[in-house]
Structure 1
Amino acid sequence: MPLRLAFDDLCALRARCGIAAVRTIDDAPDYEDGAVAPSGPWQSLTDETVRMLTVPARVPSSTLVEIVRPPVPIDSGLADLAASLGDSHAEYIGQALAEPGMRTTTDNYRDGRLIGLHLDNWDKLTYGRRATGRRRLAFNLGPGNRYIILGDVDARAVCRAVHPDSYERRYPHTDDYRAYVAAGHPIRCVRIRLAPGEGYMAPTEFLLHDGSTEDEGEPSTMAFWLGHWDRGVLPSLV
């Protein structure tokens, strides 16, 4: 199942999105060896891309991307922001600051090198259960814009391609995507702009992703939660 993005307003979607290919980073000491990142340049969404992103009938909410306006934090703070959205077990997982001008934002805490586009593994789900994981809710606290970048090939498709004889026993991993790209298989990624006060819900254990502040002149801080949420629990921005 490829990247699916819920939207009702095509003009609003196109105004904040771009698409590009990805490549293996082999010439940047600030990145891990084999890391994958957008290759640019960012292009406008074509009609073909819009058809690819459009959500067909009966797609589970757990695999959807939504661009949303989260509620304003209440007096109890960010930790309780997601409590009213329908999952009483939603988990606040903290904040991440990104300086301006970063092509991707997530680093390896062990050595500080950027890991590039990657797959989350909070729920540690096998191939067969990968599409049932929690989605990530993100809220841009500002002061600058932030982007979410999402790959258009899902974790199960990549796992099947890289491990054709054993994929059913595997736990899909970022390394699968790195091997997939290194072998010459194409992946495109969509970049979605998020202003302060805006956010997303995305299956980051199912889709290649990372944040970005490329082309932006201010830092931004994102707050994050994990949970099982139905489509439409927050107002859509597109």
Structure 2
Amino acid sequence: MPLHIAFDDLDALRARCDIATVRTATAEPAYEQGAVIPSGPWRPLPEGAGRALAPPPSTPPSTLVEIVRPPLPAEGRLDDLARPLGDGQAQYLGQALARPGMLTTTDNYQDGRLIGLHLDNWDRLTYRGKSAGRRRLALNLGPGTRYIILATLDAQAVCRAVHFDDYARRSPHTDDYRAHVAAGHPVQVIRIRLAPGEGYIAPTEYLLHDGSTEDQEASAIAFWLGHWQSGKLPSLI
């Protein structure tokens, strides 16, 4: 199942989205060898591409992307923010600070190199369960605007393409996307702008993704993981 974004206003979606393809990072000291990164240039999201992101009625909430404004809890206790959303087991992951002008933001804590666009693996899901993982709630704490970048091709589709003979026994991984892109297969990505105070709920175990502060100031972001039904927070689009 590809990328699906909940929206009511196509113009509002397109106003905060750009589209590009990706490439493999080679001999770039800041990145892991083989990392998948946006290739640019970013282009305005065409109307047809925007319409294609609309979720069919059968789309499970676990695969849906929502652009939201999470309400801050009393006394600014960020660890309590997700409690009213319906998952008593939701997990607060903490905060991450991104420097200004970063094409992608996530690094490998062991050596500091950027890993590029990637899949999360908090839930250790196999192929059949990959679309049912927890979604990530994120809140841009500012001071700068930032982006979430999402691939339009989902992890199960890439796993089938790369491991066509035994994909059902696999656990989809970032390396599958790296192999897919290195083999010359095109992957499109959508960049969604998030001002301070805005956020998203996204299946980051299921969709290739990363944050970005390209052409923006530094910003911090807070994260939670949980199983949430769609529409728990008002949509910004």
Give the TM interval when normalised to the shorter protein.
over 0.9
1:209 and 2:209 are equivalent in the alignment? yes
For residue 230 of structure 1, what is the aligned residue in structure 2? 229
Alignment of 1:15-26 (within 5 A): 15-26=15-26
1:87 and 2:92 are equivalent in the alignment? no
For residue 219 of structure 1, what is the aligned residue in structure 2? 218
For residue 128 of structure 2, what is the aligned residue in structure 1? 128
| Offset, 1:166 | 1.0
For residue 145 of structure 1, what is the aligned residue in structure 2? 145
- Secondary structure of the structure 2 residue equivalent to 1:33: coil
Deviates most, 8-17 or 118-127? 8-17
1:175 and 2:156 are equivalent in the alignment? no
Letter in 1 for 2:54: T
Do the aligned residues in 1 keep the contact of 2:14 with 2:47 (CA within 8 Å)?
A: no
Q: Which runs of 4+ in 1 moved over 4 A?
A: none
CA distance in 1: counterparts of 2:79 and 2:132, whole angstroms? 24
What TM-score results when the alignment is normalised by the length of structure 2?
0.98
Paired residue total: 237
| Offset, 1:76 | 6.3
CA distance in 2: counterparts of 1:48 and 1:161, whole angstroms? 25
| Offset, 1:73 | 3.1
Alignment of 1:1-238 (within 5 A): 1-75=1-75, 77-216=77-216, 218-238=217-237
| Offset, 1:47 | 2.3
CA distance in 2: counterparts of 1:46 and 1:193, whole angstroms? 16
- Secondary structure of the structure 1 residue equivalent to 2:80: helix
CA distance in 2: counterparts of 1:76 and 1:144, whole angstroms? 19
CA distance in 1: counterparts of 2:86 and 2:3, whole angstroms? 24
CA distance in 2: counterparts of 1:3 and 1:72, whole angstroms? 28
CA RMSD of superposed structures (Å): 0.8
Do the aligned residues in 1 keep the contact of 2:150 with 2:208 (CA within 8 Å)?
A: yes
CA distance in 2: counterparts of 1:27 and 1:190, whole angstroms? 25
CA distance in 2: counterparts of 1:184 and 1:19, whole angstroms? 19
Letter in 1 for 2:64: L
What TM-score results when the alignment is normalised by the length of structure 1?
0.98
CA distance in 2: counterparts of 1:28 and 1:49, whole angstroms? 31
CA distance in 2: counterparts of 1:24 and 1:48, whole angstroms? 27
- Secondary structure of the structure 2 residue equivalent to 1:128: coil
CA distance in 2: counterparts of 1:236 and 1:105, whole angstroms? 25
CA distance in 2: counterparts of 1:107 and 1:65, whole angstroms? 23
CA distance in 2: counterparts of 1:84 and 1:73, whole angstroms? 10
| Offset, 1:51 | 2.5
